[in-house]
């Protein structure tokens, strides 16, 4: 299990492997997204306070390095 802290909503335990948009919805946060939880629409934004992943996909890297 991992902790997910949502500004204005609290901190929740989330099972490993849960997609962010699904975790948000399960915690009661309505997210207007078009990707169906496939991480293509860039609606979800995250900030790692600790435990940032050691590996990212090429798509993640491309999005994070866009100007």
Can you tell me the distance from the alpha carbon of 12 to that of 27, in angstroms, rounded to the nearest whole number? 7
pLDDT at 49: 76
pLDDT at 18: 86
Of 28 and 62, the one with more pLDDT: 28
Can you tell me the distance from the alpha carbon of 40 to that of 64, in angstroms, rounded to the nearest whole number? 13
Residue pointed to by tokens 């009661």: 28
pLDDT of 6-46, one tens digit each? 888 899 999 988 888 888 889 998 887 777 767 667 777 66
Residue 57, pLDDT above cutoff 90: no
């Amino acid at each position: 299990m991992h902790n997910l802290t949502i500004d204005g909503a609290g901190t929740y335990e989330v099972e490993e492997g849960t997609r962010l948009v699904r975790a948000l919805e399960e915690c009661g946060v309505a997210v207007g997204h078009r990707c169906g939880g496939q991480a293509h629409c860039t609606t979800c934004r995250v900030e790692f306070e600790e435990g940032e992943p050691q590996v990212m996909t090429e798509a993640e890297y491309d999005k994070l390095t866009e100007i």
